[in-house]
Amino acid sequence: GAVVSQHPSRVICKSGTSVKIECRSLDFQATTMFWYRQFPKQSLMLMATSNEGSKATYEQGVEKDKFLINHASLTLSTLTVTSAHPEDSSFYICSARSLSSSYNEQFFGPGTRLTVL
Amino acid sequence: AQKITQTQPGMFVQEKEAVTLDCTYDTSDPSYGLFWYKQPSSGEMIFLIYQGSYDQQNATEGRYSLNFQKARKSANLVISASQLGDSAMYFCAMRERDNFNKFYFGSGTKLNVKP
């Protein structure tokens, strides 16, 4: 199957700092990538849809200025958590859709665990 | 109303036995797709199986099969011959034709396989 990577896998930062998370599709081009947030023992919540070369589409309730998304190439999307606070601590997962896949399923990255002190 | 409902927060199954994880869905879109993903403790989401709303037969992938009952709007995952490595969270998800990019996830079921 298609492979999606995320970096870093784990990050701890101080309150008020910004953190950038990278999501890469390694063996396919992804015009669309997705960013999810998952709290402990809960389901995945879609935060935004990232489209290559255009602005991201954010879900209701997600602050655009807080979670900056850039999708500059067909293989890379970045999520920047600006001025992070402890309540932003969560597991962030990206996914990408491969148009060549059998079911147009989303392939997920391994996730990034963010802890804000 | 919730799009995807998983009513079993946790399940136990004996190794080598079969287990069914429940999933019901709600949509008025005649065209949709149903997915099951496995999330081990490492956090990665692993695609298991897919069922299209117009598929006539239940999907199967190795030890995984999907019991698709369209009239009941249920898409239960059946894992045969459970293995210790099957212990994980399992999420049911749906995508509708009219909102192709958006996956709706259920709350998940934590499966524990006992030796």
CA separation for the pair A47, A62 (Å, rounded): 6
At which residue do the structure tokens 């962030």 appear?
Answer: A92
Would you say residue A100 has pLDDT above 80?
no
pLDDT reported for residue A40: 84
Residue B111 confidence class, pLDDT cut points 50, 70, 90: very high
CA dist list (Å): A72 to A38, A59, A62, A77, B49: 25, 20, 21, 7, 31
- Whether A103 sits inside 8 A of B35 (CB atoms) is yes
Q: Find the residue in A nearest to B97 (Cα).
A: A104
CB–CB of A111 and B52 under 8 A? no
Q: What are the chain A neighbours of B101 within 8 Å (beta carbons)?
A: 32, 34, 49, 97
What would the mean pLDDT of A20-42 be, rounded to a whole number?
91
Residue A1 has pLDDT above 80, yes or no: no
pLDDT of A76 > 70? The answer is: yes
Q: What is the mean pLDDT of residues B30-36?
A: 95
Which of B44, B52, B105 is facing A44, going by the closest CB pair? Answer: B105
Residues in chain B closer than 8 A to A104 (CB atoms): 33, 100
Residues A43, B107: C-beta atoms closer than 8 Å:
yes
The pLDDT score that the predictor gives to residue B100 is 78
Higher per-residue confidence, B97 vs B12: B12
Rounded-to-integer distance, Cα A50 and Cα A39, Å:
21
* Residue A7 Cα distances to A52, A100, B28, B41, B61, angstroms: 19, 25, 38, 18, 31
Average pLDDT, integer, range B18-40: 96
pLDDT average, residue stretch A40-46: 88
Optimal mutation site among B23, B25, B103, interface A, most CBs of chain A within 10 A = B103
Strand partners, B35: B50, B93
Contact (Cβ atoms closer than 8 angstroms) between residue A79 and residue A18: no
Q: Is the pLDDT of residue A109 over 80?
A: yes
pLDDT digits (tens, 9 = 90+) for B70-82: 999 999 999 999 9
Give mean pLDDT, residues A50-69. 92
Which residues on A lie below 8 Å from B35 (Cβ)?
103, 105
Does B5 have pLDDT greater than 90?
Answer: yes
User: What distance in Å separates the CA atoms of residue A106 and residue B100, rounded to the nearest whole number?
Assistant: 11
CB-based contact A97 B42, cutoff 8 Å: no
pLDDT score for B35:
95
Higher pLDDT, B83 or A102: B83
